[in-house]
Amino acid sequence: MTDWNSVFDGILTERQFKVNEPMNRHNTYGIGGPADVFVMPQTEDQLKQVLRRADELHIPVTVIGGGSNSLISDRGIRGITLCTARMKSSTVRKGNQIIVTGGAGTGAVSRFAMKEGLSGLEFAAGIPGTLLGAVFMNANGYGSKFANVVHSVRTVTRDGRQEKHYTLEEIQYGDSDSVFMHNGDIVLEVVFDLKEGNPEEIKAVMDEYQASRRAKQPLEKRSAGTMFLRPPGHYVGPMIKGCDLMGFAIGDAQVSTKHPDFVVNNGKASAADILAVLHEVQRRVQEKYHVHLPLDVRMMGEDFPQE
């Protein structure tokens, strides 16, 4: 058994890590077994030191932000689960740019931009989780995405030893994809290029988007957001509806009756239940339409493919 007090000695206080921490407390699905140790650095220096120590001791590291796009194994996560959502955050304006570090929430940064009279982040107001996590995966909504407003990103490598700076082109954004999702870099800071606007008009757009989300998405139930990527030339929702899968359930995991691209947790769903529903949707759509629906959720933990 690992002596975690020894591992984090001189780096973290005892309040900054929890042993055998239930991961259902740390994601929007409310699903997941225990993490061997759940680590909550508050500063970039602490984060880097944890990564370096883990590299030296050959301890695997899984990184999680707000857990809003995550499905965590029922058997939990081995090694260190490093949570960036508790890091001290900073959001500042420089001209028409906004610079964000730490665990700032996506909604909070959107509202900061609105108050500053800067337009471009209206679409992000209702996206849950951390801003840096949303930038990591190029979250999107209402015809916009982070690739449209990101200027540059600063990261640290997974061993904690090297900071790197990326231009927008170097990030290689795709649909729910970026270079970070392949090289393991952890996003520390993002610089946005925004445009001047009227705060009242910006707020009106944000309110409209929020009202639309409430009307069309099952926000009253636990989920991880939309679960499938859109295949080129096809729309996910109509295909799922066409397979008569609205409301299809395994245990407490159910295809939403409100929005077919959501699979919700009706109470006590397991990760296995969620995954079984996702695979059945993929199978039925493939069978009827001869189209593969790629998953749009990060699966973390034992039994799942690792980063």
Residue 305, pLDDT above cutoff 60: no
**Confidence at residue 307, expressed as pLDDT on a 0 to 100 scale:** 43
Domains defined along the chain, listed by start: 4-83 (3.30.43.10), 90-216 (3.30.465.10), 236-300 (3.90.78.10)
Q: For 165-181, what is the mean pLDDT?
A: 93
CA distance 250 to 237: 19
Q: For 151-155, what is the mean pLDDT?
A: 97
Residue 192 half-sphere exposure, CB side, CA atoms within 13 Å?
30
Residue 142, pLDDT above cutoff 90: no
Backbone dihedral angles phi then psi of residue 93, each to the nearest 5 degrees? -105, 135
Residues 6+ apart with CB under 8 A from 122: 110, 114, 142, 144, 202, 205, 206, 209
For the chain, give the mean pLDDT.
95
Residue 115, pLDDT above cutoff 80: yes
Residues 6+ apart with CB under 8 A from 291: 231, 234, 239, 285
Dump pLDDT digits (tens) for 83-113.
Answer: 999 999 999 999 999 999 999 999 999 999 9
Backbone dihedral angles phi then psi of residue 165, each to the nearest 5 degrees? -120, 135
Tokens of 233: 């030339």
Percentage of the chain exceeding pLDDT 70: 99
Instruction: Please state, as a whole number, how many other Cβ atoms lie within 10 Å of the Cβ of residue 11.
Output: 18
Strand order in the sheet with 253-255: 249-250, 253-255, 263-265
CA angle 280/215/273 to nearest 5° reads 25
Predicted TM-score (pTM) of this structure: 0.92
